[in-house]
Structure formats: C-alpha cells, structure tokens
Structure 1
Amino acid sequence: MARDAGLEEVIREELGGRPGLSEKAMFGGWAFLLNGNLLCGAREGSLLVRLGKGSDGWALALSDVELMVMNGRAMHGWVRAGADAYGDDIMRKRLLDGAIAFVKTLPLK
C-alpha cells in the first residue's frame, strides 16, 4: 500500500508538537512514535492505532474500525480505522488519545 500524505498531515496536526514525537517509514506507510514506541501509522485508506492488548474493545465496537491484521496475523492491541472512522474528527481524536494514553505507559526507548 502507498503512503497517504493527507492522512499523515492530519495526524501531525492532531498530535501537535508533542515532545518525544518522531516519524519514520514503516508498515508500508508512515509511522508515528512517541518516546521511541510505536503510536500509530498512516497508510492509504487506513489509520493504524496502538491501543494495547485488552484495551482495544471499545475501539473495535466503533463503525469502520477493525482488528489490525498483518501478513495474516492478528495484531491484538492494534486497530485499523478506515476512512469513515479517521475522517470523523471526534473519532480520530478519541483513537489517537487512546494510543497516547497507552504508549505513555511504556518504558522510553
């Protein structure tokens, strides 16, 4: 899949100038890291969000959000939000806030 420059920019705006935020190519798209830990990613048509194992049930109940699957393997704790989900400002903010809350619990890398 190709990168989605528009989604990447929306994520940058949402995350702001948060200390410890970095970016790099990953997942066939663009990844955002917080203090060295994966936070979320953008690919054409998908926002990948890290919520942590056992903490993703609320997100999976949302419309156009599903469990992330890579190479046929379920990635528990990660969700893939489609355009209807990440295009909704409130839903996107809720997903990214959930990712930030989880990643802040991880040790710095």
Structure 2
Amino acid sequence: MAARAIIAAMAYDHELADRIRELVATEKGVDEKRMFGGLSFLVGGNMSVSASGKGGLLVRVDPADVPDLLGDQVHTAVMGGREMRGWLRVDAEAVDDDACLAEWVARSISFVRTLPTK
C-alpha cells in the first residue's frame, strides 16, 4: 500500500511543475500545494494552474473564454464525472513550447487575480 501511495504522489510531471514554478517566481502571492494528484499553484488562495496528475496542465480561465479556447489539445476539465466550469485540461504536447506554457500560465493568473482572495 505504501508503494502505491508513493507512485500516486509522484504522478505529475515534475519538469512541467518546474517550468511553471519558473514562470510564477516573480508573481506575488503564489503558493504551491499538492492537490488532485498534481502540483497546483494558487494565487490569493485560489487554484490557478496545475501540473496535472493526469498529465499536462489543469488551468483555470474565465468561463466566458472557454468556447474559444477548446481544441484538439484543450478540453473541458472533468472531475467526478462533472464538467468543471472555467477549468481546462491542456494536453502535455500543447505546452511543450515554453511560449505556449507561458501564455496559459499568464492567462490563468490574470483571471484568478480577479477573484476574491480566500
């Protein structure tokens, strides 16, 4: 059982997490927390972006922008069988490029900064 817990705790892409960490290093009020099998980056207590335990990126965006952002490598996030409003799953291949990852992280942080601090 302990080995299974270790594997689950290491399921997210550590390299992707490091790349996100570099992008948010100069942002104020950003914290890291292991959540949902991944490593999440929170702004003002609100989850913004995560190196997902399912691979790729879990990113919070303005729900009004979701229809324009969906594509072959970008999908509405689903947890517990329910679509999560304003959350997207971005395939790992879509964020291989540093500029693409930076766009997603910036978009998410910008949106999350509009939310009330927790």
Q: TM-score, normalised by structure 2?
A: 0.83
Give the structure 2 partner of residue 5 of structure 1.
14
Q: Which runs of 5+ in 2 are unaligned?
A: 1-7
Aligned amino acid, residue 23 of structure 2: E
Moved segments of 4+, more than 3 Å:
none
Query: Which of 46, 54, 58 lines up with 1:48 in the alignment?
Result: 58
For residue 49 of structure 1, report the CA deviation from its aligned partner: 0.4
| Identity fraction in percent | 41
Structure in which a larger fraction of residues adopt helix:
2
RMSD (Å), alpha carbons: 1.5
For residue 28 of structure 1, report the CA deviation from its aligned partner: 1.2
CA distance in 2, matches of 1:57, 1:91: 18
- Which has the larger Rg? 2
Q: TM-score, normalised by structure 1?
A: 0.89
Q: State the aligned residue count.
A: 108
Q: Which runs of 5+ in 1 are unaligned?
A: none
Query: Which of 95, 105, 108 lines up with 2:104 in the alignment?
Result: 95
